Structure 1
Amino acid sequence: MPDVRVKICGLTQPADVEAAAKAGAAYAGFVFFPKSPRNVTPEVARALALLAPIGLAKVALVVDASDALLDEITDQVPLDLLQLHGKESPERVAEIRSRYGLPVMKAVGVADEVDLPKLGLYAQVADQLLIDAKPPRTAELPGGNGLSFDWRLVAGKRWAKPWMLAGGLTPENVGTAIAMTGAQQVDVSSGVESAPGVKDAAKIAAFVAAAKSAKPIPKL
């Protein structure tokens, strides 16, 4: 069974990139959303991305971003993947993928069964899916809220594209989440922080170790 691939999202400091790389993460995520405590400017993200060693994929998380913002980000930051974490339509996902020539991962919030058909819809236009806990209606942030959903909803399910599990994951529960869902990729942000937006290198190391030692359910 291949190692579970881990994305550490919301990196803001050089030490964060170093910790993610040292721990063996597969993806480093940079957030471009002013309301987030993890928000970075393209200039800061560029400096951080240039520190990432080969093998650590650089991801830009945006929320209903305009072409102008995406132009600015992609012009300045060497990226491997765009993560769309807003209410982008399938048409907008396809448009962004075509315009920027980068793989696109679409986040889809899940709270119950009625949310699952969206995953099949976005799998037709995105390169990857990120299955996240649907934020409360009053939430300021579309993700990074430290909330999980009922993992049984996606247990054993497969889509046409690779998918990543997110939402409320921590070093303590990621092994259970992987075992229950069969996820081969997981995403964490607030679960490896000592305070909002402040990454903890020890928690990053513990999270990656727990994810890689988990035993996913074998594919049917």
Structure 2
Amino acid sequence: MNKDIFGLAITDFYHHKYCEDIIVQAPDFDDDVIPVSYLFRSYDDMPAIEQKALDLAYGKILDIGCGAGSHSLFLQEKQKLDVHAIDISKGAIEICKKRGLAKASTINIFDVKGMKYDTLLLLMNGSGIIGKLSHIDHFFIHIKSILKDSGQILIDSSDISYLFVEEDGGLWVDASAGYYGEMQYKLTYKNNKSDWFDWLYLDFNTLQNAANAHGFLCELIIEGSANDFLARLTLV
């Protein structure tokens, strides 16, 4: 069984073997769908949050969780910037290279060491890689070690509290279950299934408080139409 769901789907689409989309499963919620074509979108087809992040990117860039490489390709080809795309999906990185990315590597962000970047790019709910709120200090300690003093982090996320709003308008959250933005997902594509994995959605105030605690200024740059937002973090 191939557990590299994104890699398998991205490879099929690139080789014109696309016939179905990625199914996202979560406990207590209906299944969702990620159209594989969405991973290959152009700048003009990207939401405003992503366009703004790409417009703000500068210098030496690390595109974290790059997927099919659409953000990196725009930065490399249109903006003429030095961008390194990384993802844990081997299949995705192979397609990134076939699409023309000069620098693309299969590596976990937490294994990146010894390099410093001007821009760290975490898009498409980039906070998800943190996994759980209890891991956020580890995330900031590591991310700080690979960011230049004059650099920036561009990260998007979503406040998913709306999923827990009851009919009377009140917010129902099980306090014993931890932070409401902590989710678990499983991906399926054709006859392949991933393992369950943790994914973290952050509301802006929670992100800002954690960033401030680690010496970052956290600015709200733009809000989307689905409780999502883009934030820019710079060292104070």
TM-score using structure 2 length: 0.36
Name the larger-Rg structure: 2
TM-score using structure 1 length: 0.38
